[in-house]
Amino acid sequence: MASALETLCGQAYGAKQYDMLGVYLQRSWIVLLFTSILLLPLYLFIAPIFEALGQEKEIAKVAETISLWSIGISLSYSVSSTCQTFLQAQSKNMIIAYLAAFTIAIHLFMSWLLIVKYDFGLNGAMISTLLGLWLPNFGQLFFIMTKCHDTWKGFTLLAFKDLWPVVKLSVSSGVMLCLETWYNGILVLLTGNMENAEVVLGALSICINISGWEMMISLGFFAAACVRVSNELGRGNSRDAKFSIVITTLTSFAIGLILFFVFLFLNKRIAYIFTSNLDVAHAVGDLSPLLAFSILLNSIQPVLSGVAVGAGWQSIVAYVNIGCYYLIGIPVGVLIGIIFNLQVKGVWMGMLFGTFVQTVVLIIITCKTDWNKQVEIAQKNIDKWSKINTQESKDSKTNF
């Protein structure tokens, strides 16, 4: 839901409406905090939910432990995601990188201390994760409030006014990105009901972890595409917006292609970074071609999603995701994996097909778009938001 700010802040910054960024940031905090509170029952009752979905009791018990710790993690994302988006819209990326480098050093040390030295196991891992997520939050908040003089004018009660447009865009953004995240979660859920679930889940977790590492690169390009497109639309420059889309997509794809061949070559060898279990390593080897193709597709799809967020197409992409992921990918995966008995490989193949269809659809939408018209839409929205905020600011002297 925080990606709504990527549209709002990016276009406002491009249009030099700097004082609007701080108001949008605070409005997003309100929306996300309220949403986090609404989601609390899901975290508290995850064990019975998992058991009702047919998962083994041991898996449900572990999920419950992770889920309770994840309450603090969820709240941390409400701050970190919005602050990062606020800073990225202004191209203030180095502070995010410095804080991340500092945090990962602390995270590695705490992980070793709590998991290896004191053997706290899963609880130690979750404590380390929680610290690793909250530490940069304090750094980002301090930087925003002391260094972003043009875009942060202090806390204001204006943040509580005209929330509905932010809510609508936040919901569209949340649905769009959650549909993608849940899609991968369903792969794990379906795998938990298959034969030899412990080994297969171990192998799948390794593959998803590796894919997640690569996804961090793609998410960097997601952010770059989003910021560049939103800034250029805000400035009224359609030509540079199109140019940034082409360069960002090709660069990300080139990196993805290299990694595709690397992971095809590594095969099961990569598994030994995570485990000494031979069965799990062999299972990873069986899944490595699918992992390689996932990495290749993930080098394109997030960039196109970033373009969509920058242009404010979240609701359109949400419909695309429903069709490609849930009406095509999952049914095909279930058909190949369960009906044709290819197990997790079949499920993953079907879901990869859904991702491929989604990528093709996003390419077509991006290529067919009239970017001059998108500039006009962005300018109208910015003018409307600016008039509303100016009037509210006159009506209420509420900065503190």
Q: What are phi and psi of 299, to 5 degrees?
A: -85, -15
pLDDT above 60 (res 305):
yes
pLDDT tier at 300, thresholds 50, 70, 90: very high
pLDDT of amino acid 284? 86
**Range name among 110-114, 215-219, 252-256 with the lowest pLDDT average:** 215-219
pLDDT of amino acid 68? 93
pLDDT tier at 263, thresholds 50, 70, 90: confident
pLDDT tier at 270, thresholds 50, 70, 90: confident
- Please report, for the chain, the start and end positions of each structural domain, with discontinuous segments joined by +: 4-92+148-395
Residue-averaged pLDDT of the chain: 87
pLDDT of amino acid 72? 93
- State percent of the chain over pLDDT 70: 94
pLDDT tier at 394, thresholds 50, 70, 90: low
Which candidate, 379, 358, 233, places its Cα nearest to that of 307?
Answer: 233
pLDDT of amino acid 366? 93
pTM of the model: 0.79
For residues 393 and 5, the model is more confident at 5
Strand partners, 156: 399
